[in-house]
Amino acid sequence: MRVAVIGAGVAGLALAVRLASAGHEVDVFEANDQPGGKLSEFSMEGYRFDAGPSLFTMPQYVEELFALAGQDMAPHFQYQRLPVLCQYFWNDHTRLTAHADAHAFAREVEQTLGVPTTRTLEALRDSERKYQLTGRIFLEQSLHKAATWCQTDVLRALLQLPRYDLFTTMNAANERRLKHPKLVQLFNRFATYNGSNPYRTPGLLTIIPHFEHGIGAFYPQGGMYSIAKALWWLAERQGVRFRFRTPVSGIEVKSRRVVGIRIGAEVLPFDAVASNMDIWFTYRKLMPDQPAPERVLHQEKSTSALIFYWGIRRQFTELDLHNIFFSQDYRHEFDCLTQGAISDDPTIYVNITSKYTPADAPPGCENWFTMVNAPYNAGQDWDMLIDHTRQRLLAKLSSVLGTPIEPLIACESVLDPRGIERRTASHLGALYGASSNNRMAAFLRHPNFSRRIRGLYFCGGSVHPGGGIPLALLSARIAAGLLQEDLLTLE
């Protein structure tokens, strides 16, 4: 079977590997001149930066692709487990080290915040229980196929619905369990992993800490972009053909069946098509004449990001790979995002890959990926917001670290929601497609197949199961499985 994959983001790469490994003839079409989508990199004045995702969890999904393709991963992709997940800082100079070891983390919480270790450990166990009960249902299978809901383990899990905190918010669940405001804030921040609001998103999302605290956080050798490079190599090794700088202008459909894609005025025939493009643009740009799932496309968007890439002429021993500088009023920060604004005191995330890859910065220097959550692009005065937020970030970081930061900036680049939409075709710059701010969000995400058009499939962060590298890789697994199931009817 000939399959066209639209977009060489991480999900598109993974899907190409899976389909080629199953014996299909696969062509990947990408508008940019390199693979990776949001997972990209750039350099300036001797500093290298991962431009997009900065946290690597669930490495088994990458390992799975190498195993499926029958290739040894070690020569092409390696990673290490992080001993420290994150350094947390507050405005009052409280500092907390999140050790990867759960008991060491709980002891650190007790010593720093006075919260008994048993309370922290129970929260982590609850996160793990929810993952074990629901992970394979909500993340690893299509929620849009009846067969999923007829499985014994699924029916067993549904009997335990009251344990999932579906009918309360993440914040309420964390307050009930953790009680200390700083620890609640720390656990609430996991809602941002899929661009959601902890004061609105369902308590089921307390599953997320297990990805990091239970399974672990990792660092890929050479930085995050090495994931995209490894999957690109693997796909080419399987015979996948890549056509970069080749934007697809349309998906051809006849009698409710995919027959190919259009590149400009040229129609290329294919037996199946899989879109790794944002679902909004897939319908609006590639299939404007086909009925669109308006309810899905008009869901509330996730948050975006405002990122300052700074080359810093100094090293900070108190900082690690991942660092969080919390806001004083977390609820107010999310209220501002809901209103399309950025708080004057935003939570700041600083990622420094030169801690693990020294060549990413000149000697004695660091590469700071400095990010705040931002609203999606709704026509705000971004130039004003960027300038104002930059000053607030510099003031906050200088205060907490006790050192003026601006004089240390050797070079700078900025990425805002407008640039995110332009570079990655993410509608309105929303990083994760739809938000997960209601308990039905998982069911309202677009499925990984078309109910109306045979031979059309979807993967990536804007469809089921959601955004972020692990879920994007799972979307590729689900889409590939659905295509294989449909194979007999497509031929």
Tell me the per-residue pLDDT of 170-224, one tens digit each, with 9 for 90 and over.
Answer: 999 999 999 999 999 999 999 999 899 999 999 989 999 999 999 999 999 999 9
Listed residues 401, 424, 447: the one ending a domain: 424
- Shared domain for 276 and 306, answered yes or no, is no
Return the pLDDT at 133.
Answer: 81
Q: Looking at the 3D structure of the chain, how many domains does it have?
A: 2
Distance CA 404, CA 398 (A): 5
Return the pLDDT at 158.
Answer: 63
Return the pLDDT at 304.
Answer: 97
What distances in angstroms separate CA 235 from CA 209, 222, 307, one per listed residue?
31, 20, 31
- Shared domain for 347 and 240, answered yes or no, is no
Return the pLDDT at 139.
Answer: 81
Which amino acid does the sequence have at 479?
A
Return the pLDDT at 443.
Answer: 62
Return the pLDDT at 439.
Answer: 65
C-alpha 461: how far from its chain's center?
7
| CATH code of 326's domain | 3.90.660
**Is there a domain that residue 310 lies in?**
yes
**Is there a domain that residue 212 lies in?**
yes
- Shared domain for 305 and 184, answered yes or no, is yes
Give the tens place of pLDDT for each residue, 430-485: 999 888 887 666 567 899 999 999 999 999 999 999 889 999 999 999 999 999 99
Return the pLDDT at 166.
Answer: 77
The range of the structural domain enclosing residue 91 comes to 81-220+301-424
Low-confidence ranges of the chain (pLDDT < 70): 135-136, 143-144, 146-163, 439-443, 488-491
Distance CA 184, CA 124 (A): 13
- Shared domain for 209 and 343, answered yes or no, is yes
- Shared domain for 184 and 152, answered yes or no, is yes
CB 313 within 8 A of CB 410: yes
Return the pLDDT at 435.
Answer: 85
- Shared domain for 253 and 286, answered yes or no, is yes
**Is there a domain that residue 242 lies in?**
yes
CB 17 within 8 A of CB 40: no
Structure tokens at 419: 């640039």
- Shared domain for 206 and 251, answered yes or no, is no
- Shared domain for 117 and 141, answered yes or no, is yes
Q: What number of other Cβ atoms are within 10 A of residue 184's Cβ? A: 22
| CATH code of 15's domain | 3.50.50.60
Strands (E), 165-271: 217-220, 241-243, 250-254, 257-263, 266-269
Distance CA 288, CA 299 (A): 19
